[in-house]
Amino acid sequence: MITQCFIALGSNLNSPVQQVQSAVKELAEDRGIVVEKCSSWYLSKPYGPQDQPDFINGVVAIQTELAPLALLDTLQTIEHAHGRTRDQHWGPRTLDLDLLLYGQHTEQCERLSLPHPEMLKRNFVLLPLYELAPELILPGGTALKKFIDQSLNKDIEKLQQY
């Protein structure tokens, strides 16, 4: 079964724009994934420790036949190929790929929570997600646009496309 998914991308190390652009290309090259569209890139302040560079963030919409955990494995393989380490919670990183939504599927297990438990609290996720899918209905039946307001524009800047 083919499922539409949304993946958040972020980077603040080693040429962040190139990191996220390369990750989108790698997703598109995976035979189990079809990239539908990618949001604009956003420059945002770090979430968590502030003694690190600003982040480049965006969201990509994909179609996949991969199961949720298989998709997560693919995302983590791409992160690893980009030199991702998990030294500090919310710390700097070369690449962060978070599975936000897997269709209307909900799941709670040790490795994965769907929908992503923090996505509605992060402007650097909500704004690019809304850009891609303004009419999106979240699992549970709530419209994404309910969570969009002007306060989300604080500490974030939409970049011109590269």
Write out pLDDT tens, residues 39-83: 999 999 987 777 789 999 999 999 999 999 999 999 999 999 998
Domains in the chain (CATH in brackets) are 3-158 (3.30.70.560)
- Six-digit token string for 33: 């994934």
pLDDT digits over 94-151, tens only? 999 999 999 999 999 999 999 999 999 899 999 999 999 999 999 999 999 999 876 6
Candidates 126, 110, 115; CA nearest to 58 is: 126
- Is 84 noted as a catalytic residue in this protein? yes
DSSP annotation string for 6-55: EEEEEE-SSSHHHHHHHHHHHHHHSTTEEEEEE---EEE--SS-SSSPPE
- Is 86 noted as a catalytic residue in this protein? no
Three-state secondary-structure class, residue 109: coil
- Is 31 noted as a catalytic residue in this protein? no
- Is 51 noted as a catalytic residue in this protein? no
Q: Which of 31, 73, 93, 111 is catalytic?
A: 93
Q: Which of 96, 122, 149, 155 is catalytic?
A: 96
